[in-house]
Amino acid sequence: MADEAGITVLIPTPLRRFTDGDAKVTMAGASVGEVLDSLERAYPGIGERLRDDSGQIRRFVNVFVNGQNVRDRDGVDTSLSEGDEVGIIPAMAGGSRV
């Protein structure tokens, strides 16, 4: 589709079991949300790891577009253009508080 951009998506190690080990895939979508939809269609099950029931990015997942955290932009509505790079990274977090 002419209006759908080719977006490079960087897949973190813990999610590569969904992508047959691929660290980098190309997806279509004009926004972060659309790219995540494309990811789920291509690799069923991955989407649930990334978004909550309301469709927002999970608290302990970070998504970057060209190095900028989409939480500092428009979240899943952040628009994308051909050639943009989306990086997905689950949190490394925890601590002694229970």
Partner 1 sequence: MSLGAPEVQTADEFRLPGEMREAIVAHALREAPRECCGIVAGRDGAPVQVYETRNIAEGNRLYEIDPRQLIDLEFRLLPEQGSEIVAIYHSHPESPAYPSLTDVELAFWPDAIYLICSLADGQRPDLRGFRIRDSLVHEVTLTQ
Q: Could you say which of 7, 70, 78, 87 contacts partner 1 (CB under 8 A)? A: 87
Beta bridge partners of 39: none
The tokens describing 30, both together, are 């004009």
Using rule CB under 8 A, residue 28 touches partner 1 = no
Amino acid at site 32: V
The answer to whether the beta carbons of residues 88 and 61 sit under 8 Å apart is yes
Q: Can residue 10 be called a binding residue for partner 1 (CB under 8 A)?
A: yes
21 binds partner 1 (CB under 8 A): no
Q: With respect to partner 1, which residue has the nearer C-beta, 3 or 20?
A: 20
Contacts with partner 1 in 48-77 (CB under 8 A)?
A: 60, 62, 64, 67, 69
Nearest to 69 by CA among 92, 87, 82: 87
Q: Which of 40, 42, 41 is nearest to 50 (CA)?
A: 40
| Selected binder of partner 1 within 1, 3, 21, 92 (CB under 8 A) | 92
